[in-house]
Amino acid sequence: MSKLNPKRYADRVAAELSGPDGKPIGLTPIHPPLPPAEVGIAVAELLVKATAELGLTVEGDASAVVKAIVARGDTMPPSIYSALCAAQLAPEDSEPGDD
């Protein structure tokens, strides 16, 4: 029968991926989380670079700079866009180092 209708009667091969002892595959971060001071420095450098690329002069804290960049309506620099998207995808209830 398998020669006449192979989709229905042929032997099937299935591959299953699982972690140790049949448990789900665990995800581990590639890079350890940055300490808050290092994150602050990286964000400040990113915002300085973005304001220079866009030709903005904004005074205030980081949130004022981000609001000005978004309100401008132009195409964002890729570094700012990816940082904003990553911030939206991050879990809200976890703190860095809460592993």
Instruction: Give the model's pLDDT for residue 52.
Output: 85
Identify whether 39 is part of a domain: yes
Q: How many Å apart are CA 12 and CA 87, to the nearest integer?
A: 43
Q: pLDDT per residue over 22-68, tens digit each?
A: 888 887 767 777 777 887 888 888 888 888 888 888 887 888 888 88
Identify whether 48 is part of a domain: yes
Instruction: Give the model's pLDDT for residue 75.
Output: 78
Instruction: Give the model's pLDDT for residue 2.
Output: 67
Q: How many domains does the chain have?
A: 1
Identify whether 43 is part of a domain: yes
Q: Tokens 């009667």 belong to which residue?
A: 9
Identify whether 96 is part of a domain: no
Q: Tokens 């180092």 belong to which residue?
A: 97
Helix (H) or strand (E) holding 15: none
Range(s) of the domain holding residue 73: 29-89
Identify whether 1 is part of a domain: no
Q: How many Å apart are CA 82 and CA 53, to the nearest integer?
A: 16
Q: What is the mean pLDDT of residues 4-20?
A: 79
Instruction: Give the model's pLDDT for residue 87.
Output: 65
- Checking if the pLDDT of 89 tops 60, the result is no
Quick one: tokens of 62?
Answer: 């980081």
Identify whether 81 is part of a domain: yes
Tell me the average pLDDT of the chain: 76
- Checking if the pLDDT of 70 tops 70, the result is yes
Identify whether 52 is part of a domain: yes
Identify whether 85 is part of a domain: yes
CB 65 within 8 A of CB 58: yes
